[in-house]
């Protein structure tokens, strides 16, 4: 749920997340401005925003390129997730509106699994964890997670084995939701810790298997 306005920034953001520009791709001001039908100055403003969000990297006098998260980034992203998500879940109330979003995300993941639409499964997984963070009712933590989730999507794009990446976690999401509702936040938080460790290991495994750097 990124800020609805800022049309250009969000359009560019979506394109990047959707993989239209592969991670690491250099984004030329002139050609991209022409492609998007905006002026260089306007495009540069959008660049500054996305750069601050970590979606693109800006090297002075060398332009911007789509971020291409490495192993260190994935490790850091999961470290931050472990700081935030379990604590949010532990303190979250089962009556919180975000629980509805959690449930919907689980169901959407299940139907995506059935249709073997891994892309949709990945989106549902992210929505599930976004809902967990929303339990904390903290705009600032939500912003952090939004940025982190976007970076993670770029990492997923690099891996390009969506089934192994997303499919295993649909049933885990369902189980986590049930634990949360039936046994309460702290029990679910413990389960989420293991969940995140496994998820990180999955991503890192696919990463190092792909390119050795």
Partner DNA sequence: CGAACTATCATTGTTGAACAATCAGTGCCA
Partner DNA sequence: TGGCACTGATTGTTCAACAATGATAGTTCG
Question: Which of 45/110 has CB closer to a copy of itself?
Answer: 45
Near DNA by CB under 7 A: residue from 27, 105, 152, 170:
27
SS3 4: coil
- Residue 4 binds to a copy of itself (criterion: CB under 8 A): no
- Residue 60 binds to a copy of itself (criterion: CB under 8 A): yes
Of the candidates 10, 179, 21, 148, the residue with the CA atom closest to the CA atom of residue 77: 148
- Residue 139 binds to a copy of itself (criterion: CB under 8 A): yes
Using a CB cutoff of 8 Å and minimum separation of 24, what contacts does 90-94 make?
Answer: 90/185, 90/186, 90/188, 90/189, 91/135, 91/136, 91/185, 92/132, 92/135, 92/136, 92/180, 92/185, 93/135, 94/180, 94/181, 94/184
> Which residues from 44-83 bind DNA, rule CB under 7 A?
44-45, 58, 60-64
Choose the one of a copy of itself, DNA, none that binds residue 37, judging by a C-beta under 5 to 8 angstroms depending on kind. DNA
Instruction: Provide the mask over 98-137, with x wherever binding to a copy of itself is found by CB under 8 A and - wherever it is not.
Output: --------------------------------------xx
63 bridge partner residues: 59
Question: Which of 68/193 has CB closer to DNA?
Answer: 68
Which residues of the chain form contacts with a copy of itself (CB under 8 A)?
5, 41, 44-45, 48-49, 51-54, 60, 76-77, 79-80, 83-84, 87-88, 136-141, 144, 147-148
């Amino acid at each position: 749920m990124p800020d609805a306005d800022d049309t250009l920034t969000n359009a560019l953001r979506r394109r990047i997340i959707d993989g239209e520009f592969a991670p690491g791709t250099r984004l030329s001001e002139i050609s991209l401005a022409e492609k998007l039908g905006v002026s260089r100055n306007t495009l540069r403003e959008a660049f500054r925003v996305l750069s601050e969000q970590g979606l693109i990297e800006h090297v002075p006098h060398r332009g911007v390129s789509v971020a291409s998260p490495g192993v260190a980034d994935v490790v850091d992203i999961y470290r931050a997730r472990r700081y935030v998500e379990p604590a949010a879940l532990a303190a979250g109330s089962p009556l919180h509106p975000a629980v509805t979003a959690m449930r919907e995300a689980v169901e959407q993941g299940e139907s995506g699994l059935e249709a073997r639409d891994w892309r949709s499964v990945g989106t549902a997984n992210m929505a599930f964890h976004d809902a967990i963070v929303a339990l904390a009712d903290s705009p600032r933590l939500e912003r952090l997670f939004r940025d982190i989730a976007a970076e993670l999507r770029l990492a997923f794009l690099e891996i390009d084995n969506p089934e192994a990446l997303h499919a295993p976690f649909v049933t885990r999401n369902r189980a986590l939701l049930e634990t949360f509702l039936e046994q309460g936040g702290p029990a679910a938080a413990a389960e989420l810790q293991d969940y995140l460790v496994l998820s990180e290991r999955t991503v890192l495994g696919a990463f190092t298997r792909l390119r050795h750097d």
